[in-house]
Amino acid sequence: MPGTGAGDIAHIYLLELGPSIQHEEVEFITYDDATQQLLVVKGGHVFAYDVSKGPANDSSLKWMYPLQEGPAVIALRPSLDNRMLAVQRSAAMLELVDLASGLCFVHSIHKGRGDILAFFFTDAPDTDMVVVTSRAVEFTQFAARRQGLRCRDRVRCSNAWALYTHETRMVLIGSAVPPHSALAAWQFASHGITQLPLFELQGPLPASAAVRQFLPAQSPYQQQPLPTPAAAPLPAAAPSQLMRLGAVAAGTASAMPTAQQQQQQDRGGAAGSGAGHAHRNLAPERIWLLKMYGRVYLAHADTAGNRLELYRFYTDTIILQHVYELVSPEVHLSVVDNTLVVHHPGTSVVMLYDVALALPGTSQLANPLPLRRLQLLPPALAAAAASAEPMQGCPSQQEQQQGSAGAAADDDAANSSTLSRASSR
């Protein structure tokens, strides 16, 4: 990606804040959003770097712990207080290490309970850790002195994938039952655990279905039919011809439903089929859990429709609130100061949206601008550059000392001349 020059303008700049590990052999790397730490496995050790305080320095390394020999690491998660470290090396086993004492115990999934899809620590009451497997969701607690985990509750369900973010305190689970379109969600807050009913992402309704469902039958916004012109008088026909025409008209009328019946059929079809968007096979890499203005949202990138759908969670349902157009199929999302940032790496374009603005046309904060990389000098070089190039209009320390010395000499000369005049008098 090109670097920024003097005339480059961008909404978002890529700033290198993390530690430099490009010249080291890294075995595994992940970011933990709960503790805002970058976990790196290299040389048989786990290094935890604090990336929440700006550019990396000597104090960014928070802790380090040697790993036991074994299979490659699949996943890592530290506890919320940084006292425990959960290490996953296989699909049916977790290693939990006490970083202070070095004690380690193993939490295994019994045979027949599926594979581990996700695990995370919580601050919910009576639930220290949640383990999501392909066949259940397990709520566990630490045993006495944190020397083991015991399962407090287990919800049996067939799961295909799981997604958790600590900022939303919510886990989203995709169903493994065909057609793989149902989603389940739990929120683990400090005041309790909330389970949402199963739901599907229906997507926006087509314009025709929306008109049929939400506009009344006699709405003034619906197009009224044109008046039928008066028919020309027909010549007189024989009685046999009249009987034949009447039979044809009766058959046509019975074959054509009334306008009210057609409207009910269309409305029922749109509601039953989800307006053509039901039973969508959802991929976890196209779904994000976000939090803006204290509200929890689910974002889904619909590559087929070239749009980004933003759903808002409520206590008992989920509602589609915003639909944004995508520039390219490849997209990544982030939130900065309650602003939705849509990254398009393929085109290096960034879009900014404010979900507090209701109208879709006004929710975009600015025109699309490219994504740039901002290079920062190391602290030593930055200090040297600052000392070598003083600010324009501000004298340097040496100039200030020379100026003060010259001013003092002028004052001494003025005082001596005054004294000489006084003595001559």
Mapping DSSP to helix (H, G, I), strand (E, B) and coil, where does residue 108 land?
strand
Percent of the chain with pLDDT over 90: 41
Nearest-angstrom CA–CA distance, 153 and 223: 58
Sign of the alpha-carbon torsion through 407, 413, 419, 421: negative
pLDDT at 396: 46
Return the higher-pLDDT residue of 236 and 21. 21
Nearest C-alpha neighbor of 365 from the set 348, 344, 351: 351
Is residue 171 within 8 A of residue 185, CB to CB? The reply is yes
Neighbours of 382 (CB within 10 A): 12
Neighbours of 360 (CB within 10 A): 12
Q: Which of 12-26, 165-179, 350-364, 376-390 is the least confident region?
A: 376-390
Residues ≥6 apart with Cβ < 8 Å to 310: 297, 298, 299, 320, 321, 322, 323, 324, 340, 355
Partners of 215 in the β-ladder: none
Nearest-angstrom CA–CA distance, 243 and 268: 38
Write the burial class of residue 85 (CB in 10 Å: 0-12 exposed, 13-18 middle, 19+ buried): buried
pLDDT at 27: 92
pLDDT at 347: 84
Q: Which phi and psi angles does 24 have, rounded to 5°?
A: -115, 155
Q: How large is the angle between the packed helices 207-214 and 259-273, nearest 10 degrees?
A: 120
The pair of three-digit structure tokens given for residue 332, joined into one six-digit string: 């990544």
Render pLDDT for 3-50 as a digit per residue (tens, 0 to 9): 444 346 666 777 666 677 766 788 999 999 999 999 999 989 999 998
Nearest-angstrom CA–CA distance, 336 and 353: 11
- For residue 335, the one-letter residue type is V
pLDDT at 392: 44
Q: Which of 103-107, 117-121, 323-327, 407-411 is the least confident region?
A: 407-411
